[in-house]
Amino acid sequence: MTRDVLLTCPLDCPDACRLKVTLGSEDGGPERMLKVTGDPDHPVTRGFACAKTVHYPARANHPERPLYPLRRVNKKTDPEAQFERVTWEEALDDIAAKMRTLLETRGPHSILRYHYAGTMGLMEGHHVHAIFRALGTPELDETICASAGTEAWSMGYGTRYALKLEDVAQAKLIVLWGINSLSTNSHLTPHLTAARKAGAKIVCVDPYRNRTAAFADQHLKIAPATDTALALGVMHELLAHGWTDAAYLAQATLGLDDLREAAREWTPERTAEVTGLSAAEVRDFAREIGTTRPTYIRVGYGLTRHEYGGTSLRAITLIPALTGDWRHRGGGCAMSASGAFKLNRSQLGAAHLTRPNTPHINMNELASALEPQRGLGALFVYNTNPAVVAPDSGRVRAGLQREDLLVVVLEQAMTETARLADYVLPATTFAEHADLYTSYGHHYLGYNPAALGAPAECRPNTWVMQGLARRLGVEEPSVYWTVDDLLAHLLDTDHPHLQGITPERLKAEGSVPLNLPSEFLPFAHGAETPSGKVQLSPAPRYTPARAELNAEYPLRLITPPAHHFLNSTYGLLDNLNRAEGQEPHLLLHPADATAYGLQDGHYAQIESEVGQATRRVKVSEQPQRGVAVLEGTWWGLSAPDGESINVLTAETLTDLGGGSTFHNNRVRLRAVEAGGADD
Ligand SMILES: Nc1nc2c(c(=O)[nH]1)N[C@H]1C(S)=C(S)[C@@H](COP(=O)(O)OP(=O)(O)OC[C@H]3O[C@@H](n4cnc5c(=O)[nH]c(N)nc54)[C@H](O)[C@@H]3O)O[C@H]1N2
Ligand SMILES: Nc1nc2c(c(=O)[nH]1)N[C@H]1C(S)=C(S)[C@@H](COP(=O)(O)OP(=O)(O)OC[C@H]3O[C@@H](n4cnc5c(=O)[nH]c(N)nc54)[C@H](O)[C@@H]3O)O[C@H]1N2
Ligand code: SF4
Ligand SMILES: [Mo]
């Protein structure tokens, strides 16, 4: 007996698909997840799930999935983790007692919550923080992914609005700039194809030939972290040739003179020098943007993961303010759609309890925050896997291993972070708990009921936090909200985007479009900045990376997402590891490989200023010379040396938003045997 349910995909991906999930019991055992495809009737999902999430059942039913609360019995520095099964009662009593001692002896600043978007659910991903706000523990700045982009966008435009996906097909020129959308935003692809059928040209701007570059009509293989120069080079030509929309500039923007001044030096020749493109490429690219309406630019967060990544993103996103593309359906620029979800978030995660003098910890600096002298006594990790994904992961692991730090990890999988925990608390998946979802790639709100019984003793994150809060005597009511309470609160708003969307309707329909005007041109007349205009000043200016390449560190290492993984979420599945080449590969340009005496299949030790890792080399024309690429945040367990690639990543922050700089590593290579020994 099987049955199908429709559920929203909870993963950190712009597509927030509506999935058709088949549940059933194969052998008379409890019902479980058997199959995942896309809802054929959903206008964004269009019947297909991606190459990764069709394998979600294998992760939900994985033999190593934690099903009971587990307590560490050996030292966290021992190589093989050993746990014993305990009851929820024992686990929560002990953890609460330890929290109480910390609160009484060292105060709330000795306890840190650490989380990201493993689930994007507003209940299990956001509201779950409420207990920590009630206790007054430090604020975690959620900077690992989008904060540089968000800050940059906010300077120019205020709110993050994106055009309607279905309007993309009307664009005549599409620029995919620092986004590998065929892998990371795959439900954009049908719209790209439709636009192309109607005559659009597609250009990809990326330092290496990823899937999206191969799909595009043209690939501009830009030198990493030089996008500000290219954007200013484009603006130089727009201004020089009068390919600008004077009426739009006058009505909707502020600061043109400053921008004109910043663009003045960026002739095609000068731009070519910095970006590694030819002057002709720059000139043609600018002319195409200047003379094609509508032009749609889709920027990714990838290009922001550099020291001046915020400025790069800002420079690119201001191009449509010069061309006036915002006035044309299908034109403009998109980074995130999330600003359109005008929910009432005033008490989400007990935000109303945030105190002005609470210390903030930037999540990219976890390695430093875990140093003993910083005084943390307990760390609660949920919805993220910092032993693998966080910068300077070697130091993060060393911090998690401290015997004087209580590490509690709420997990669905036996991740490398969970293996370093004092307590692993088994978490439910999106099919097993109710939740509400927004999206950063489209405009549908999603609701999932708990469609499937929780296996064994798995519990939602919020159930765990409420259990702790009760034991600690927390009285704040919002800590104890149910999903229905949260839903009622979030939808308690008069904003027109949410008009007609009630909890009852959302539950009945499952996926409901925001109530946007049929012609949604959010920046056609200005922006949601304090001035009400698109803010062109202070104009973005190009600054070369401080970590410049030199004789000691001659290569730039870029580590973007893999097609078959979602961050580290699918790294435990053998078949998806195989689909990605069985082990992580370092893509090297033939000239760079020759320079190091490396051949296809050899192992290289990669050294950065903060760490070293060993990877197998794949010689390839995909990257440009001087740029090494390693796709995917693989589990260290799948790497020849057992290390995450982020042992190489420094804690360096971006210019805006305190963001991560995963693509900024400068490295050198050495040929070695597998495992790291010298030749
Ligand atoms: N398959 C798959 N999908 C995913 C994810 C995944 O891991 N796998 N992760 C999800 C998450 S959390 C996110 S944030 C998004 C991220 O999705 P993207 O925004 O697509 O990914 P990024 O790491 O941000 O890198 C995108 C591209 O930026 C390029 N890039 C790096 N440096 C530069 C530069 O200086 N200039 C330019 N122009 N390009 C540069 C990289 O080479 C890469 O091709 O994807 C989501 N979707
Ligand atoms: N080198 C390099 N590093 C990167 C990146 C890169 O491009 N290059 N990308 C960065 C980016 S953009 C991001 S967003 C981060 C993402 O990194 P993470 O936030 O660590 O994302 P995932 O690796 O997918 O891990 C999410 C974890 O949450 C768990 N989880 C999911 N749902 C639930 C739930 O309901 N309850 C609980 N308790 N757990 C749940 C999953 O089992 C999974 O182990 O990685 C960053 N790290
Ligand atoms: S990971 Fe993204 S593309 Fe894949 S099913 Fe989930 S939302 Fe859709
Ligand atoms: Mo991300």
Q: What is the mean pLDDT of the chain?
A: 97
- CB 193: neighbour CB atoms within 10 A? 14
- 586-627 pLDDT tens trace: 999 999 999 999 999 999 999 999 999 999 999 999 999 999
> Token pair for residue 247?
């009426």
- 343-392 pLDDT tens trace: 999 999 999 999 999 999 999 999 999 999 999 999 999 999 999 999 99
- 474-490 pLDDT tens trace: 999 999 999 999 999 99
Distance in Å, CA 666 to ligand 1 centroid: 18
Distance in Å, CA 186 to ligand 3 centroid: 8
Going by C-alpha positions, the residue among 382, 8, 301, 340 that lies closest to residue 164 is 340
Order of all β-strands in the sheet with 2-8 = 2-8, 18-24, 32-38
Q: Which string of DSSP letters, residue by residue, matches 499-527? A: TT--HHHHHHHSEEE----SS--TTSS--
**DSSP helix/strand/coil, 8:** strand
Looking at the predicted structure, is the pLDDT value of residue 677 above 90?
Answer: no
Looking at the predicted structure, is the pLDDT value of residue 678 above 50?
Answer: no
- What is the average per-residue pLDDT within 268-282? 98
For ligand 2, atom 19: residue with the closest CA:
384
In a 13 Å sphere around the CA of 645, the CA atoms on its Cβ side amount to 28
* Ligand 1 pocket member 389 (CB < 6 A): no
Q: How far from 609 is each of 552, 554, 630, CA to CA, in Å? A: 10, 12, 17
**Test site for ligand 1: of 17, 221, 301, most ligand atoms within 8 A of the Cβ:** 301
Q: Do residues 207 and 224 make contact, with C-beta atoms less than 8 angstroms apart?
A: yes
Across 11-167, where does the E strand assignment appear?
18-24, 32-38, 70-72, 83-85, 111-115, 139-141
- The whole-number pLDDT of residue 679 equals 40
Residue 675 pLDDT level (bands cut at 50, 70, 90): low
* Ligand 1 pocket member 298 (CB < 6 A): no
Domains of the chain: 2-60 (3.30.200.210), 70-137+345-437+444-481 (3.40.50.740), 148-338+521-535 (3.40.228.10), 555-672 (2.40.40.20)
Distance in Å, CA 188 to ligand 3 centroid: 11
**DSSP helix/strand/coil, 383:** coil
Distance in Å, CA 389 to ligand 4 centroid: 10
Distance in Å, CA 221 to ligand 1 centroid: 15
Distance in Å, CA 441 to ligand 2 centroid: 18
The single-letter DSSP state of residue 650 is -
> Token pair for residue 574?
């053998």
- 419-463 pLDDT tens trace: 999 999 999 999 999 999 999 999 999 999 999 999 999 999 999
- 488-501 pLDDT tens trace: 999 999 999 999 99
* Ligand 1 pocket member 567 (CB < 6 A): yes
Question: Cα(122)–Cα(8) distance, rounded to whole angstroms?
Answer: 12
For ligand 2, atom 29: residue with the closest CA:
383
Phi first, then psi: give them for residue 423, nearest 5 degrees.
Answer: -130, 130
* Ligand 1 pocket member 561 (CB < 6 A): yes
In a 13 Å sphere around the CA of 342, the CA atoms on its Cβ side amount to 14
Measured distance between the N- and C-terminal CA atoms of the chain, rounded to whole angstroms: 58
Question: Cα(230)–Cα(284) distance, rounded to whole angstroms?
Answer: 12
| Ramachandran assignment for 479, one of left (phi > 0), alpha (psi -120 to 50 degrees), beta (any other) | alpha
- The whole-number pLDDT of residue 672 equals 94
For ligand 2, atom 47: residue with the closest CA:
389
**DSSP helix/strand/coil, 121:** coil
